[in-house]
Structure 1
Amino acid sequence: MTLSRLTLAQFRSWPRLDLHLDARPVALHGPNGSGKTNVLEAVSMLSPGRGIRGVAPAEQARQGVGAGWRIRAEIGDRQVETSAPPGASRSVTLDDKAAPQTALGALLRVIWLTPAMDRIWTDAPEGRRRFLDRVTLSFHPDHAEASLAYEKAMRERNRLLKDQITDPGWYRALESQMADAGARITRNRLAALAAITAAQDESSGFPAARLTLLPGEGFADDPNAGDIAGRLAAMRPRDLAAGRSLTGPHRADLGAVWGPQDMAAALSSTGEQKALLLSLILANARALSDQPVMLLLDEVAAHLDAGRRAALYDQITALPAQSMLTGTGPELFAEFGPRARQIAVTRIEGASAAAD
């Protein structure tokens, strides 16, 4: 089951785009600001969440056009549509029937890498958690439901903490809900790390890493709900003083070391950090060989030399997955040769256009 057609209407810089796809990698090239990344963002909206930019639907509509936006796709024999009319939240339909966003995760596993993610190893843990949860979602579509359930219960608990409610009776049900969802979240994360660790390939030209789920104030082991509920209850006095929940899966972190010296990713060079991140993205796609996968790589070739680009393109074409890449010029994709479809993207009078 693959993405065979993508149709955009009033999405970002695209008044309209009708793109037919096959198994070949697609290389979108054009000047900065031409609208290449907007195509990748549209594809990323075929998965649960807010896509590669993480913005509200209102920010994705064409400026000055009051018609909202719509994305349609054919994935296998399924007809998918996601849209956001003016002033309304995003909706999803599958075969013309309303569906939750979480249903998208079972149709197409969308994996992406953007320039903003290059700082993942040196930025705050929040960015690494988001990356880990996107990886986890690709293996476990129900991870989104567990995360939503956990966050909803935590918001209610935080409200009680902020209001300095001390009666334990108010907390027990919420902490039980957090514990049930938190145990699922932690188990899913650990399973995802095990899967991409096993799928790393040191012969690919990209480094393999040892990955760990770091506790921080979260949970790195495989806890049961009772363990988490007990921890939440025990930490309640400290949380009351802070006015928020300071322990739980929302405080966990992702650790990565690589090489014979077990070099921490945060201490590696910028080039090594980029290579390591690419290695994990490729391993993620490789580990999902039995699932429909779309790999989105935004401006990925800009800081790679020709040898590393060739190694990357060899890996991409060997994957049982579709892929889309962006770059400023066709020369960045020369190492693909005829294996990839190249599309030139231009900006004319404020709107994007594409041509093979």
Structure 2
Amino acid sequence: MAATDATLSANNAGYTRIAVVGTGGYGGSILKALLHSKAFTSIRAVTREPTDDIAGKEMRLRELQSLGAQVITYDSTTASAFASAFAETDIVISAVGFSAISSQFAMVDGAIQAGVKWFLPSEFGVAHGSSTWLPFDGPLAAKRDVLAYLKERQSQIAYTAIYTGLALDYLDPRVLGLKLTRRSATLVGRGGTPMSCTNQQDTIRVIVEVAKRPREMQNRAIRFAGSTTRMRELIKTVTANECGNNVKLVSIDEAKEKFCELAKKQDMRAFEIYCRLLVEEGLTQIDRKGEKLDNHLFSFKPEPVQETLERLLLQAETVGLGIHGPTVHRSETGGSVTEGIGRAADTVCGTAATAE
């Protein structure tokens, strides 16, 4: 896809060929935003050859091709396969989900082999932090390890990690205990711990702007928060009460006990409790250690989280169904997440996990 001279600024000169790994979820939306930006000479969708939902994936790929994207498929997660997919590319953005995070090690190696200049790993959320309440390597640990791997190789390839907190219109709100259609909620703890939130569209705007400005964005972490809020504020929006008949209160000790009960069974509901405990412990606040937010680097005004939640409530009432989004379940992300939860039963609960 050709870009106009006006949009190809000196700031991203030499970084005009970009590839995005993944076409579902964030990946597809990032690709569309890059295509609409007209800031790159070529945009490539790199995706694994489909093994299920073939018709749905082919439809997404045809749409991207109609918009001007080149589509490249790979059949194995090896460095050589990724090197072939990334040939003649300047920037690689990884938008893979939990189950594929570990494939980014080979992705980075393949990018280096192909001469890629800049790699943006699949962060786009919260940074990994060590929990004192659940002291085990949870699902975010793989992201931490990939970022460390990139930092060790920054003389060969630049990197940028982008943290934007939670996107309520991407992560199913029920994972956090917000039941929109019922106007009810489950609150773990007191709900007064700060948390960072940025909706999906604003997160994608940040990603695209970062990719257009390599000279100032490379080899660093970018932290952008649309809002800093607290669970009790979100619950009040959903239920009109911070606590009451439609708000179930769960203590930290009760939540940890329930987590252990479900983790021993490798029940994915343990992941929901894990998320709620991380929120209450403060690990979803992207500037919790005093890091400076980078909102000033971007000219647009993000949507406040309360407006995002009101929009989702209206959608839930209009459609009459729960929010349909990428929730955590066995078929898609279960591999890495259930493995981490199973191990947690040993380190946190003091007993071996047994699958049922």
TM-score by length of 1: 0.25
Per residue, is there more strand in 1 or in 2?
Answer: 1
TM-score by length of 2: 0.25
Larger CA Rg, structure 1 vs 2: 1
Q: Which has the higher contact order (CA 8 A, sep 6+)?
A: 1
